[in-house]
Structure 1
Amino acid sequence: MSLHKGRARPLVMTSLVLLALAGFAASFYLAVSHYSILSGQRTGASFCSVSEVVDCDAVAASPYSEIHQIPWASFGALVYLLLISFGLLGLAFEPLSAFALRFTFLISLFCVLFDAYLAFIGFAVLKLICIVCIFTYLVNLGILVLSKVALGEGVRGIIKGAWRSLPFLDASLGEQRHMARLFHSLILVILIFGMAGIIGTRHHFVGDKAQTVAKILESFAQQRPVAIALEGSPRLGPERAKVTIVEFSDFQCPYCKEFASALKMLQKRYSRDLALYFKHYPLDNHCNPYMQRPFHQQACELAQIGVCIEKSGKFWEMDEVLFNSGKTSATSLAKALEARGLNPGEVYSCSGESWARDRVLQDIHEGRKLGVKATPTIFVNGYRLEGSLDSYILNLLVERFLEGRKP
């Protein structure tokens, strides 16, 4: 029994429109998350990144979430726009409801199959759960089932009906041919403007950054990669990573704070292939003999606190707190230490010991020998790069190294 005619038609088509609207909202959110994370516009965690396993941000920023720097979610949003249009047409014009439902079923069938692939990547490869992604999977499944039930036809019949509705293919359409032409014209218009929007968005965020990366690689070609002593330095990522980034940083440097967040998100994106190492280079003449005048007056103290936190293995849980410590009180810092199972008194006592100062000084001397004069300065597989970089440039740079391209 077909439900796309008579009294049931408004309910069926309205339900499809609402499901597609929900899917569009979720896909739009994921696409915005992808671009905002990789462009560095958003550094904090989203509402659905609640643990190391349940993390929408890590999924949205992963290499599997895109093709040619365009997130799959952007294409998902375009598909949902098509489905919304199909539903509205079927709601407004009863002769178009069968056309709309057949194409809705076929598109949602493809989406469900593609969802199975994405779910496999998320659960088996990334070992992550994306709540918003799962929501879109359920939406697609709901649209598939509802359109199938509403048509009351077998899959073969649906495919034949969709094929017959193509303009100029079957004379038996008779007076419905102009409806079919209207329907397919709408599809074409949405696809053209939708793809233009997707490509325009990519250009806005990515632009000519590939040329910037090419220039960086050219500058690397003028250098010899240096060996850096990494033992004892905080590491985030695999020990034998294909790409290693060593950052010389200062906890009172605002650019370092933004850059550190971008680097951590980059490591999430390439969790199997990228390792981050942190080196202290406080721009503070209290402990940095290469500083001729006062500058970041708490940087040495914070670096020594960081060294003591390193002993507990919780540096990467506390680095963001240390970067924000200039805007918070000592009480807030103590509470943050306690929240992570650290004794504030012991940490402060440790930071005043000579070995902590010597440990920071060791990083400073090493940095100076490597040509570090400002922060942030990073070394990508031994090649020096100064200044805070756009997240997309960092991403493209890491991809070039993973592809085996040498400067």
Structure 2
Amino acid sequence: MTRRTMVFLAGFVAVAIFILGSIFYTKPAPDFAQGIGPGGDSVLVRPHSPILGPETANVTVTEFFDPMCETCREFFPLVEEIIGDHQGKVRVVLRYATFHPGSEDAVRILEAARRQNKFESVLFVLLEKQSEWAAHGEPNIARAWELAGEAGLDLPKAKTDALSPEVDRVIQQDLADAKSAGVSKTPTFFVNGKPLLSFGKQQLYDMVLAEVGQ
């Protein structure tokens, strides 16, 4: 075997090893656990983030959601079930991912509702009657405001609060954090900082159950 042939074979083997390594190497899933506890500040949890359930719970489910997202609405009963089934142990941190046209306006309604301690009641009615205001491509934000008023929101005050610089910052921060966390669709879930790798209702419930049991 000539020296030239040996060099060629060595190079071929090295390339083959590199290709096989690329195929079989699995990039580890991102883990954003740092800062997700009560009072934490991280890509997944900010001090301004709305929280459903007890703030001091040991298990944190972070959901990047869009009020106009139909799948978010479909998952919401499960989110409530998870909180109810594990009393005191699970909290859900909501982060805004305003990916649909008009969803930023809906987030402004929710943030204005928070300032009147009406967040949950307004969130529930917007999701329950989503079909009345969140038609794809043609959102009816006026109807969303009407529904919020029916849920007890002081509309004149809320419409002023909705345009505040504080709400602007919340929307911008949540979008930046969604990008940092690799979120490209809604809903996207993280449980104690770990992403839900296989999307589905049962998968989410099982992942929460595993964290509660630790």
CA drift of 1:332 comes to 5.0
Question: How far, CA to CA, are the matches of 1:362 and 1:372 in structure 2?
Answer: 13
Structure 2: runs of 5 or more not aligned: 1-25, 35-41, 134-139
Asked whether the 8 Å contact 1:321–1:333 carries over to 2, the reply is no
Q: Which residue of 2 aligns with 1:351?
A: 162
> Could you list the per-position Cα deviations for residues 43-96 of structure 1 after superposition, in whole angstroms to 9, with x for gaps in the alignment?
xxxxxxxxxxxxxxxxxxxxxxxxxxxxxxxxxxxxxxxxxxxxxxxxxxxxxx
Amino acid at match of 2:31: R
Superposed, which structure 2 residues align to 1:257-276 within 5 Å? 257-276=73-92
Question: How far, CA to CA, are the matches of 2:78 and 2:155 in structure 1?
Answer: 28
Is 1:375 matched up with 2:193?
A: no
Q: Which residue of 2 aligns with 1:363?
A: 174
Is 1:399 matched up with 2:209?
A: yes
Change (3 A) 1:223 1:337: closer
Greater helix share, 1 or 2?
1
CA drift of 1:367 comes to 1.6
> Could you list the per-position Cα deviations for residues 160-214 of structure 1 after superposition, in whole angstroms to 9, with x for gaps in the alignment?
xxxxxxxxxxxxxxxxxxxxxxxxxxxxxxxxxxxxxxxxxxxxxxxxxxxxxxx
Superposed, which structure 2 residues align to 1:316-331 within 5 Å? 316-323=120-127, 324-328=129-133
- Equivalent pairs counted in the alignment come to 173
> Could you list the per-position Cα deviations for residues 88-126 of structure 1 after superposition, in whole angstroms to 9, with x for gaps in the alignment?
xxxxxxxxxxxxxxxxxxxxxxxxxxxxxxxxxxxxxxx
Amino acid at match of 2:49: S
CA drift of 1:249 comes to 0.6
CA drift of 1:397 comes to 1.8
Amino acid at match of 1:297: P
TM-score of the two chains, using structure 1 as the length reference: 0.39
Asked whether the 8 Å contact 1:282–1:299 carries over to 2, the reply is yes
Q: Which residue of 2 aligns with 1:6?
A: none
Amino acid at match of 1:327: E
Asked whether the 8 Å contact 2:106–2:144 carries over to 1, the reply is no
> Could you list the per-position Cα deviations for residues 342-382 of structure 1 after superposition, in whole angstroms to 9, with x for gaps in the alignment?
21122122223333222111111112112212111111001
- 1:303 is paired with a residue whose SS is helix
Question: How far, CA to CA, are the matches of 1:312 and 1:234 in structure 2?
Answer: 13
Asked whether the 8 Å contact 1:307–1:360 carries over to 2, the reply is no
Q: Which residue of 2 aligns with 1:277?
A: 93
- 1:312 is paired with a residue whose SS is coil
Is 1:233 matched up with 2:42?
A: no
> Could you list the per-position Cα deviations for residues 269-310 of structure 1 after superposition, in whole angstroms to 9, with x for gaps in the alignment?
112110011111110xxxxxxxxxxxx211111111111112
Q: Which residue of 2 aligns with 1:302?
A: 106
Structure 1: runs of 5 or more not aligned: 1-218, 284-295
Q: Which residue of 2 aligns with 1:183?
A: none
Asked whether the 8 Å contact 1:378–1:386 carries over to 2, the reply is no
Root-mean-square deviation (Å): 2.5
Asked whether the 8 Å contact 1:376–1:387 carries over to 2, the reply is no
Answer 1 or 2: higher relative contact order, Cα 8 Å, separation at least 6: 2
Question: How far, CA to CA, are the matches of 1:309 and 1:220 in structure 2?
Answer: 41
Asked whether the 8 Å contact 1:338–1:344 carries over to 2, the reply is yes
Change (3 A) 1:312 1:386: farther
> Could you list the per-position Cα deviations for residues 233-291 of structure 1 after superposition, in whole angstroms to 9, with x for gaps in the alignment?
111112221211011111111111111221122111112110011111110xxxxxxxx
